[in-house]
Amino acid sequence: MSNLIPPHGGKGLTICLLEGAALDEEKKKAEGLKKVPVSPRVKGDLIMIGIGGFSPLTGFMTKADWQGVCDKFLTADGTFWPVPVTLDVTKEDAEGIGEGDEIALYDPEGDEIMATMKVTEKWALTADEKKFECEKVFMGEGTPTTEEFWKIAEEDHPGVQMVMEQKEVNLAGPVKVLSEGEYPTKYAGIYHRPEESRKIFEEKGWSEVAALQLRNPMHRSHEYLCKIAVEVCDGVYIHSLVGNLKPGDIPADVRVECIDALVKNYFVDANVVQGGYPLDMRYAGPREGLLHSVFRQNYGCSRMIIGRDHAGVGDFYGMFEAQTIFDKIPVPEEPGKALACIPLKIDWTFYCFKCDGMASMRTCPHGKDDRVLLSGTMLRKMLSEGDELPDHFGRDEVIAILRNYYEGLTEKVEIKTHKAATGD
């Protein structure tokens, strides 16, 4: 009997990834089906459905699911879910596909059939419905009115751009996943299925596990958050996104190298596990913080570290809105359908010269001039421009890896700072 938190949804891990003879048989069948290309975002979602990371989902959402998730944080069957997981295709690719038909989902970048799908519903979103999704999922306290939100969202919010640019038709239905793409080989030893991370935690004797979400290289603040978690839990799971980011973000292999250097030199190895997962960022701030908690529960984590501006972009969200949203979400009557992975809420952390160490707004009485305010965005901006970093901004081993990466770039991407990055 496992002492770890049960997977989300009350059905255990719902694994749709085929193996062995069933995989061989389905691959043969897939060759004779209509091929429908999928985007990188859909590919990541598909793999997470396959490996049980999105339990209890077994396929892409219906319009009723979409409506319920946007409006009430609930799928049509009453399961808590914070962000739509939909499959959009062009009108041309959807032509001739009817309800009950089977299709092959094809990754054009990898030139590979990723899955088969039995279509249960074809549905569309009007422009107004796409705007409704954006306002529900991406509009935060940083832009308190819809008018302010739409003044900047379509130009400055990558998640909004993704939704507004979705193709004309959505397909819903269960999937049989045939491949995990490049992730098991490209990130061997880092990329985990939920059943693998759970096995690691169980072998270590852990029951209370905290997850740290990473899309930036680990700086001193991330390190401090992890060490707080290690003090109150059995261990911490440093879980990096290895899917697609926005231009200017640092690629996964560089971030993994930085984490390796930190863990090797500054952590007790027995209390830390590093892993990777295949999603693209949605930059949905508070809602994405909830999604991170949902799938970390599936990976075996009972706590989700939520700090300042979690999964944010620009100034769209309030500084700690990703913490307070956990106090406002619905709690379904069926316990298994409720979110069980709870937040580990930590205040803004930084290095303070007067405290002579890492501290937070809750522990440090000093002023802004005494603090090295740490931000992944600011770190990337300063390194990309060749600026000297303040003392205690990052560990020397990590800074050396990042400088080497930036010196090798032939094209620079402008990195915009925002209030959460500058301390304003």
Judge residue 132's burial from the number of C-beta atoms within 10 Å of its C-beta, 0-12 exposed, 13-18 middle, 19 or more buried: middle
| Alpha carbons 322 and 330: distance in angstroms, whole number | 15
Tell me the three state secondary structure of residue 57.
Answer: coil
The half-sphere exposure of 346 on its side-chain side, counting CA atoms within 13 A, is 24
From residue 240, give the alpha-carbon distance in Å to each of 19, 292, 319, 328.
26, 11, 22, 27
Please give the Cα distance from 333 to 79 (Å, whole number): 10
Strand partners, 382: none
How far from the centroid of its chain's Cα atoms is residue 254's Cα?
18
Q: What are the structure tokens assigned to 212, written together?
A: 């740290």
Which residue stretches of 205-270 are H helix?
Answer: 220-232, 252-266
Count CB neighbours of 271 within 10 A: 18
Active site residue 287: no
Closest CA to 292 of 275, 308, 306: 306
Helix axes 127-138, 63-72, angle to 10 degrees: 40
d(CA 292, CA 357): 29
Cross-strand pairs, 104: 35, 116
Catalytic residue among 41, 215, 303, 380: 215
Asked if residue 242 lies in contact with residue 183, where contact means CB atoms within 8 angstroms, the answer is yes
Q: By the 8 A CB rule, do 280 and 40 touch?
A: yes
The answer to whether the CB of 88 falls within 8 A of the CB of 146 is no
Structure tokens given for 228: 């707080």
Q: Which two tokens stand for residue 5?
A: 């938190």
Catalytic residue among 216, 282, 287, 380: 216
Query: If you count them, how many residues does the chain have?
Result: 424
Told to judge if 216 belongs to the known catalytic residues of this protein, a careful annotator would answer: yes
Specify the pairing of strand 303-306 against strand 209-214.
parallel
In the chain, the amino acid numbered 254 is: V
User: Are 292 and 301 contacting, i.e. CB atoms less than 8 angstroms apart?
Assistant: no
Catalytic positions: 215-216
